[in-house]
Chains A and B, each alone.
Chain A
Amino acid sequence: MRVLAALSGGVDSAVAAARAVDAGHEVVGVHMALSRSRAQFRTGSRGCCSIEDAGDARRAADRLGIPFYVWDLSERFEDTVVADFLAEYAAGRTPNPCVRCNEHIKFATLLDKAIALGFDAVCTGHYARVVARDDGTRELHRAADAAKDQSYVLAVMGPQRLARALFPLGDAPSKAATRAEAVARGLSIAAKPDSYDICFVADGDTQGFLRSRLGDRPGEIVDASGEVVGHHDGAYAYTVGQRRGLALGRPAADGKPRYVLSIEPVANRVVVGSADELAVGGLVGERAVWFGAAPAAGTRCAAQVRAHGTPVPVVVERADDELVVALDDGASLRGVAAGQSVVLYDGTRVLGQATVRACLPVAVPA
């Protein structure tokens, strides 16, 4: 196959590309320039945005003996991922920009352009497994290394795009093993630190980034009864489930810690309450995508709502363009915000994905 290997400048994508070369594919490396301010050099590089990363990606391609190009997708990235990130926070929701990047950039713009230019597939350094079934369909599964599994952020791509995706690190036993492989292959980025932060927030200060782009929007912090218990400079700075940094003037009547329960963007209010009030009885999701047939009502499976969260058992109530799941007996889930991605799993297999629109209350025992 003719394979376009997306090279971020990090260890994983370089080793993934190397494995694609070993597999006999005709591989071309492409580094996506995603940042608007490309001139930035960063210490302890964090991912796909700096000139240093582009240089590291180029050196990896040199080492693998494959052609290398930089594609400027910064405009598209700004118009989709960054704009979505800002709009979601402004609307009181909690977005996952990595999910949106996979949806709009890596497995949309990049993949479409690659196909149009004659490539058969796009290869990335994600940790997830693609399992081909006898009937020709392909399934998305968790990676062999549960600690590195990234199927959660990939599920948004859906089945058609999965057919054009290559994840050579899906069966890698661990990140340490990937690093060791990079050393053995003579890749100079073998010791480069992992990226954790949001790549377009240069200094890791998400709140500062939001403030600089959205401006101060002062408002009230209230409890569930509507009583004002504090003030904020912008509701976007708060996330459902957040406990620290509320700076409330006085303690709650019961003396227990208070958490952010919800954001009310129109009223520009942040609602706080006790830990118990964070409990969720079920989830309503929108823009659902399914790998194969959508699960029937009554299907028992597991739902994951955070990149490295623990899956919880749920029962499917509805699964089409929308998703409604109720927590299974005995399961508990707290602090889910609208905007988060919910991924359903049957064992290691991804059933589908949706974006959380609302949480259902905990059912009161009859």
Chain B
Amino acid sequence: MTVYLDHAATTPVLPTAVAALADALARPGNPSSLHASGRAARRTVEEARERLAASLGARPSEVVLTSGGTEADNLAVEGLFRARRAVDARRRRVLVSAVEHHAVLDPAAWLAAHEGAEAVLLPVDASGVLDLDALHDELAAHADEVALVSVMWANNEVGALQPLADVVAAAHAQGIPVHADAVQAVGQVPVDFGASGLDAMTVTAHKLGGPVGVGALLARRGLALEPVLHGGGQERGVRSGTLSAPLAAAFAVAAEAAVAGRSSYAARVGALRDRLVAGVLGTVPGATLRGPDAARRLPANAHLTFAGCEGDSLLYLLDAAGVEVSTGSACQAGVPQPSHVLLAMGIREDDARGALRFSFGHTSTDDDVDRVLEVLPGVVERARAAGLVATHSVAHAVAHA
């Protein structure tokens, strides 16, 4: 039996969302068409938009449907930067936390490389939580030059919840818009766009039981946002492209379910997570829990490093034992790199290499935790031996070179 503990990568689609998707897929119609089929498709999209908005504390008109989280993040960072800079050429600083997802970091870096932006990485503490003093210092020194601030609601690797209320207050005091990537937060912690004071917020379907391929940027009414995709002028002209009624419908069903069931779900996966962490720390030598304490952490997230181990060895051995987890870090051509999140937390590169993220979801059970606790001690022991071999063989090779 496979133990799937990588729900933060993607989580199985809820049966109700599959049904909504299949139902809408069977009906023809482009939501932009004016005939009866088009009107029916548009009604599906707009009802989905209303349900999404209601679930997330937003107005329907604030929901800009996208292809997913990455597109929404790109739209927020690039769209806000260009709109703000067009009004005031001094506003070239893009403030992002050092632990953002690459969907935020890379557009900021791209703007710096190609459009004269200055990407400012705001530091985090050892648990991965934003250093608010650094934000205040930055705003005190450069408020007139800041285009936007983007700080995620919850970190995807170590689960750290960020102090968004403080970020919003500090930025708004200077008239600076704030974006938050909330793809990991929805369904795990209360997320209310209106109450948060955020100007823009990214959500995606496949992290909460909906299908891959649809997400949204919630954008406050009146927010100036330059489009990234140009074309037919859908979504207030901010995001062109034919709207997918089936994906929107399935997204809405999943989001509604995730938000409605959040409280009991969080308690359930939180208990599983706590049992896993306690078990691992009690049985596996050299295991260290990374990230903040439970009160400031996503309930479904556990992140541990194993001294002397390579993440790819751990991943292989667990996979062979039927346990599916993640190193939690970005991959290029499948090559695990030391995580920028862990490095930003001040963790040494050697320690960062031996990282595993366990993320729970709606299909997780106590049996999953039992199985991990059964196999992990042996896996870590073996991975550690392989790590030592690798170190030894390089010493051997250099002696010969």
Contacts and interface: CB of A to CB of B under 8 A. Distances in A.
B393 interface: yes
Given A116-B386, A116-B389, A55 B333 contact: yes
A72 B336 contact: yes
Interface in B368-395: 382-383, 385-386, 388-390, 392-394
B330 to A, nearest CB: 12
A117 B397 contact: no
A69 B316 contact: yes
A80 B389 contact: no
Given A80-B401, A108-B397, A109-B393, A117 B386 contact: yes
A28 B316 contact: yes
Given A113-B386, A116-B382, A118-B382, A69 B394 contact: no
Nearest to B392: A112
A55 B394 CA distance: 27
A287 B398 contact: no
Nearest to A76: B394
A70 B336 CA distance: 8
Interface string B292-321: 000000000000000000001101110110
B382 A51 contact: no
A67 interface: yes
B35 interface: no
A72 B335 contact: yes
Interface string B321-350: 000000000001111110000000000000
Interface residues of B, number: 28
Chain A interface residue number, banded: 20 to 34
A115 B386 CA distance: 8
Contacts of A109: 390, 393-394, 397
A84 interface: yes
The majority secondary structure among interface residues of chain B is helix
Interface stretch (A31-39, A302-310, A329-337): A31-39
A135 interface: no
Contacts of B316: 28, 67, 69, 117
B396 A108 contact: yes
A67 B320 CA distance: 9
Interface in A43-68: 51, 54-55, 58, 67-68
Contact of B335 (A33, A104, A118): A33
Given A33-B333, A69-B312, A72-B312, 16 more contacts: A33-B335, A39-B332, A55-B333, A67-B316, A72-B335, A80-B397, A83-B401, A87-B401, A108-B396, A109-B390, A112-B392, A113-B313, A116-B389, A117-B382, A117-B383, A287-B400
5 contacts: A54-B333, A70-B333, A72-B337, A109-B397, A113-B393
7 smallest CB-CB distances across A and B, nearest first, come from A116-B386, A70-B334, A104-B397, A54-B333, A112-B389, A116-B389, A51-B333
Interface of B: 312-313, 315-317, 319-320, 332-337, 382-383, 385-386, 388-390, 392-394, 396-398, 400-401
